[in-house]
């Protein structure tokens, strides 16, 4: 059975507090998306302005004046949709990340990032549909998690799934059956069964869960489908 991971896209920390309160008894892990307005054309917490993680609460987390919501009940993974993530990884490790997804296209220092941080936090690689699978070849011996983005239009909710993804998943999973494969973007009740059949181990779903009037029922329905 594939794991269902609620995806949280938030402009403010209060949204993260609220959404985690809705799922904290239903799942083990949540994924928080963050965008810096450079790599992805959106700003998501803790980015208040382009290129700077300047949210006040983020600074309080860094100085341990407060913790992530329900940190003792949930694991947090962060999807770092930011340019040059090597400059901020230390901050996300400090606030309590259990897994960080670094986008292949966002940095020229991916090998250095993996080597520096793999003993402190799990580093996964995220990949857009337009990027060839071969781009991962040099790194797969160092990591265990890959996140396939369902569209090149990252950092926004409600984006449709790129149909190229199914073939990519099948190809990758046939070649690398031991790697954990996540899919983010376009995961819903219609697409979930096909994604799992193609090789997905983890489904990251935002709109399908948080836009539902029955969040518990939505998560159960996704689990039942896969």
> Model confidence over 100-123: pLDDT tens digits?
999 999 999 999 999 999 999 999
Where does residue 132 rank: exposed (0-12), middle (13-18), buried (19+ CB within 10 A)?
exposed
Per-residue model confidence as pLDDT tens digits over 138-183: 999 999 999 999 999 998 888 899 988 999 999 999 999 999 999 9
What pLDDT does residue 156 have?
86
Mean pLDDT along residues 16-40: 97
Averaged pLDDT for residues 82-98: 97
Residue 151: the pLDDT is 95
Measured in whole angstroms, how far is the alpha carbon of residue 74 from the centre of its chain?
A: 15
Provide the pLDDT for residue 111.
97
pLDDT for res 158: 84
CATH number, span 3-225: 3.20.20.70
Model pLDDT for residues 122-141, shown as the tens digit of each residue:
999 999 999 999 999 999 99
**Is the pTM of the predicted complex or chain greater than 0.85?**
yes
- The domain limits of the chain are 3-225
Is residue 51 pLDDT above 80, yes or no?
A: no
3-state secondary structure 70-82: CCCCCEEEEEEEC
Q: Is the pLDDT of residue 48 over 90?
A: no
Dihedral through CA 85, CA 156, CA 154, CA 52, nearest 10? -20
């Amino acid at each position: 059975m594939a794991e269902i991971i609620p995806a949280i896209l938030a402009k403010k920390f209060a949204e993260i507090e609220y959404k985690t309160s809705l799922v904290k008894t239903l799942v083990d892990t949540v994924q928080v998306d963050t965008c810096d307005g450079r790599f992805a054309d959106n700003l998501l917490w803790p980015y208040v302005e382009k290129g700077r993680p300047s949210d006040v609460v983020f600074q309080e987390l860094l100085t341990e004046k407060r913790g992530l919501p329900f940190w003792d009940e949930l694991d947090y993974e962060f999807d770092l949709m930011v340019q040059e993530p090597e400059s901020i990884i230390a901050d996300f490790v400090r606030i309590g990340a259990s897994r960080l997804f670094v986008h292949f296209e966002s940095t020229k220092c991916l090998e250095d990032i993996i080597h520096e941080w793999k003993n402190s936090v799990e580093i996964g690689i995220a990949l857009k549909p337009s990027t060839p699978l071969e781009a991962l070849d040099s790194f797969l011996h160092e990591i265990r998690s890959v996140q396939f983005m369902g569209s090149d239009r990252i950092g926004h909710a409600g984006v449709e799934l790129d149909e190229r993804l199914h073939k990519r998943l099948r190809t990758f999973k046939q070649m690398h059956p031991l790697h954990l494969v996540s899919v983010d973007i376009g995961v819903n009740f219609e697409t979930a069964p096909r994604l799992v059949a193609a090789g997905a181990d983890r489904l990251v779903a935002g709109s399908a869960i948080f836009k539902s009037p029955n969040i518990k029922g939505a998560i159960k329905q996704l689990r039942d489908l896969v």
